[in-house]
Amino acid sequence: MWQIDPADFSMAFAGVVVLALAYLFWQQRRMKKWYRHLCDCDEAGTLAEAVERSSAIGEKTRQRVEMLEKGLDDVVGRLPCSFSRIGLVRYNPFHGMGGDNSFSLVLADESGRGVVITALYARDQSRVYAKPLDGWTSTRQLTEEEREAIEEAKSSGIPG
């Protein structure tokens, strides 16, 4: 059978006790460091003061988040009415004269409400026309270039 020498057992036990004490000393140092960090002892010396300060910071943060949420709700509420669909077609309405200086521009929201702006450029004059757009159609007669610009605007925008 196995016999344990009391001297060996005492030495082993003393070694375990020393290791446990070293571990506890190390943990105590960690806890003090953590406590100082928590209390931020340069400003307040007690845990209660640190908790009070932290609570005040939390309240300010909550108020700021509420303000930002209200602002975000306002922006999101305005998005459906903003011009998020844009189409542009440049062309030369007077074949053989000049370049592609004329254009048709569509500015519309998600539902297709907006305006078609057409600018015709010639050497001696320029003309600008605006036509209403509702549901991607207009009550005014549209040119081929204006219809092209409308199709481009329909496919533009942010997907999803």
Render pLDDT for 103-146 as a digit per residue (tens, 0 to 9). Answer: 999 999 888 899 999 999 887 888 999 999 999 999 999 999 99
Q: Which residue has the tokens 């949420």?
A: 69
Render pLDDT for 27-67 as a digit per residue (tens, 0 to 9). Answer: 998 988 887 776 665 555 666 777 787 788 888 999 999 99
The answer to whether 71 and 99 have CB atoms below 8 angstroms apart is no
Report the C-alpha gap between 16 and 140 in whole angstroms: 94
Q: Which residues lie across from 116 on neighbouring strands?
A: 106, 131
Give the CA distances from residue 88 to residues 57, 127, 154, in Å, rounded to whole numbers and listed in that order: 50, 17, 11
Residue 79 DSSP symbol = G
Indicate the pTM of the whole model.
0.54
